[in-house]
Structure 1
Amino acid sequence: MTERRETGRSHPAKPGSRPQKTRLGAVKNTPNTSPDKARKPSGHSARTLAEPDWSEGERIAKYLARAGVASRREVERMIEAGDVVVDGVKLTSPAFKVTGRETIKVGRNIVSAPEPTRLWRYHKPSGLISTNHDPEGRRTIFDEFPKSLPRIVTVGRLDLTTEGLLLLTNDGELARALELPKNALERTYRVRAQGTVTDYKIADLAAGMTVDGVDYAPITAVFDRENGANSWLTVTLTEGKKREVRRALEAVNLMVNRLIRINYGPFELGDLRPGAVEEVPPELMLEAVGTMISEANKPLPDAPKRAAPAAKSRLGTRPGSARLGDRKRRPQK
């Protein structure tokens, strides 16, 4: 559940922008690297540029993460694969620095400068893949998103048949921070499983376990009710490893046949309809996760909320408007 995918939507270059023709190069940014020994990038001119001025700019991996391309780690893999080009030169080092005045391409797409961080809640229906492309041709969540959404990445992922809350953001750095186990953000699920819930099974989950060589941290499970051969539980965890809920419950003979995520950290699914996308207002996002957002990307607290167009899901209820459900609100007594 920790893997994420980005939309891959391209953005036009800023009007009037001019490529920077100096300071940039495809050599590794190490003190002993000689420009004369730099490898000539294939498919581009055989020019070698000077070592960049380390007093300016930020590392390309961090810059592209802030721009919503992917996480730093994923950007580093893109650079290693030769997919990142700055002013016509293919990069070989993730430590290379940029100022934002350059023309930066990932694959065939020109990357726009990072914008203020934004965050959306999405109610993923069952039957959609949480990637931007599926080799088997199955429909993905990115096929369902409104075309007006900017380049976005998912915070983690949900399996094909898992429903519920999936967070989206245009800030890869924020997405990574929300996923990290060390930040211990709770994920809460409503679970329907075949089998009988006992105190012993709940205690086994709470103690943590190892399944097929994978260690799982303690999982909190609360028995809700029994419905025929099935039991409903509310399950809370903090790691979000791949298929963690299903594997952990199967280890105590509870076979999951429906899984709905209702909370991710301070954000909740609420009454958001299947297939609907709704933006979290900037002031609430800053209040909830502001410490995880780079100062350079923080929006103004009073920035107006932009209307989020409805996605047209083929698998869920046709979405309409929904009230904000990112924070729990209960009527005052």
Structure 2
Amino acid sequence: MQERLQKIISAAGITSRRAAEELILKGQVTVNGNVVTELGSKADPAKDTITVNGKPLQVSQKRLYILLNKPVGYMTTLDDPEGRPLVTDLLKEVNERVYPVGRLDYNTEGLLLLTNDGDWANKLMHPSNEIDKEYHVRVRGKAHASQLAQLAGGVLIDDRKTSPATVEVIQSSENNDWLSLTIHEGRNRQVRRMCEAVSLSVVRLKRVRYGSLSVGTLKPGEFRYLTDTEVRELGQTKKTVMQEKTRPAARIPSSKNYKEQNTIKNKR
């Protein structure tokens, strides 16, 4: 059966559908020896010979869904010109080719999903699904109520305001605050740039939750396979909300550094 090339490439676990489109536009995909550069082009993976960057395409029938606790110092790409370690280097036991669902920066750690199911990955990454992603952010110094309010209400990044976020101080010390920041967008380096926009310096950044999934007890570098239920629920839910507990949009804990309790709420 003929399908769009970008869908076939994505289903093979080479890369996401969006990145597959870029490969086609750059002339890096051939069908039966002919270079294809039109995004509407179709092929039959069962009959046609498809190559990507000169390598024959093999479509796997086995679908894999992986949750990895990414350590700092790994790239969430399938290739790095500088030769830095890749997240796929941590999956030596996985025989099928998988790719990351979205990205985490080189210096960002935590929950990362990988798969070879292009349709599932595209559902998760599509902006209309608004899947919550929770980060724990260690910032230098103290986070003031006005800064939390700005983060919760949205800040300008590239002349476009971010959507309302959920933010609270979850731990406070003399030199640093730990924030919980939940967003549903996926802009490049968004959490770091949001903090920069309100003059907060990020010392450490970790993603702890993606929709209904949490990093749990996985140690950095460890991974597990998702259950069928987890795959189905995450792929079908438009907007996944944490079921175990609900929290105010912003909360500053009482301590000697804070004279009163402040709560900020933003409705989406």
The answer to whether the superposition gives a TM-score over 0.5 is yes
Whether 2:149 is the aligned partner of 1:203: answer yes
Equivalent positions of 1:15-164 (< 5 A) are 57-101=2-46, 102-146=48-92, 148-164=94-110
Matched residues in 1 for 2:141 and 2:31: separation?
56
- Match of residue 114 from structure 2: 168
- SS at 1:164's partner residue? strand
Matched residues in 1 for 2:165 and 2:124: separation?
19
Q: Give the paired residue count.
A: 241
Matched residues in 1 for 2:227 and 2:192: separation?
33
- SS at 1:149's partner residue? coil
- SS at 1:259's partner residue? strand
Contact kept, 8 Å, 1:130 with 1:159, in 2: the verdict is yes
Whether 2:165 is the aligned partner of 1:213: answer no
Contact kept, 8 Å, 1:69 with 1:172, in 2: the verdict is no
Matched residues in 1 for 2:197 and 2:233: separation?
38
Stretches of structure 2 that go unaligned for 5 or more consecutive residues are 246-268
Deviations 1:144-181 (A, max 9, x none): 32153311111111111111000001022322221122
Q: TM-score, normalised by structure 1?
A: 0.67
1:174–1:57 CA distance, 2 compared to 1 (3 A): same
Query: Cα distance, 1:85 vs. partner?
Result: 1.7
Contact kept, 8 Å, 1:132 with 1:140, in 2: the verdict is yes
Correspondence for 1:272 among 218, 225, 231:
218
Which amino acid in the other structure matches residue 125 of structure 2? E
Query: Cα distance, 1:289 vs. partner?
Result: 1.6
Which amino acid in the other structure matches residue 9 of structure 2? L
Which amino acid in the other structure matches residue 65 of structure 1? S
Matched residues in 1 for 2:237 and 2:45: separation?
24
- SS at 2:37's partner residue? coil
- SS at 1:278's partner residue? strand
Matched residues in 2 for 1:251 and 1:291: separation?
31
Matched residues in 2 for 1:211 and 1:98: separation?
40
Deviations 1:159-206 (A, max 9, x none): 111110000010223222211221100010111111222322221111
- Match of residue 287 from structure 1: 233
Contact kept, 8 Å, 2:132 with 2:184, in 1: the verdict is yes
Matched residues in 1 for 2:158 and 2:51: separation?
41
1:202–1:131 CA distance, 2 compared to 1 (3 A): same
Matched residues in 1 for 2:196 and 2:232: separation?
38
Contact kept, 8 Å, 2:101 with 2:113, in 1: the verdict is yes
Contact kept, 8 Å, 1:163 with 1:259, in 2: the verdict is yes
Q: Which has the larger radius of gyration?
A: 1
Query: Cα distance, 1:135 vs. partner?
Result: 2.3
Matched residues in 1 for 2:193 and 2:172: separation?
21
Contact kept, 8 Å, 1:190 with 1:260, in 2: the verdict is yes
Matched residues in 1 for 2:190 and 2:66: separation?
24
- SS at 2:27's partner residue? coil
1:242–1:192 CA distance, 2 compared to 1 (3 A): same
1:118–1:140 CA distance, 2 compared to 1 (3 A): closer
Matched residues in 2 for 1:108 and 1:220: separation?
46
Which amino acid in the other structure matches residue 138 of structure 1? R
Which amino acid in the other structure matches residue 286 of structure 1? R
Which amino acid in the other structure matches residue 163 of structure 1? E
Measured on the aligned residues, the alpha-carbon RMSD in Å equals 2.3
**Which one has a larger percent strand, Structure 1 or Structure 2?**
2
Correspondence for 2:138 among 192, 201, 207:
192
1:166–1:211 CA distance, 2 compared to 1 (3 A): same
Q: TM-score, normalised by structure 2?
A: 0.81
Greater Cα offset, 234-243 or 68-77: 68-77
Matched residues in 2 for 1:329 and 1:212: separation?
35
Greater Cα offset, 224-233 or 195-204: 195-204
Matched residues in 2 for 1:81 and 1:143: separation?
27
Which amino acid in the other structure matches residue 96 of structure 1? S
Deviations 1:213-249 (A, max 9, x none): 3432222111112122100111100102111111212
Deviations 1:120-142 (A, max 9, x none): 00010011122222222322223
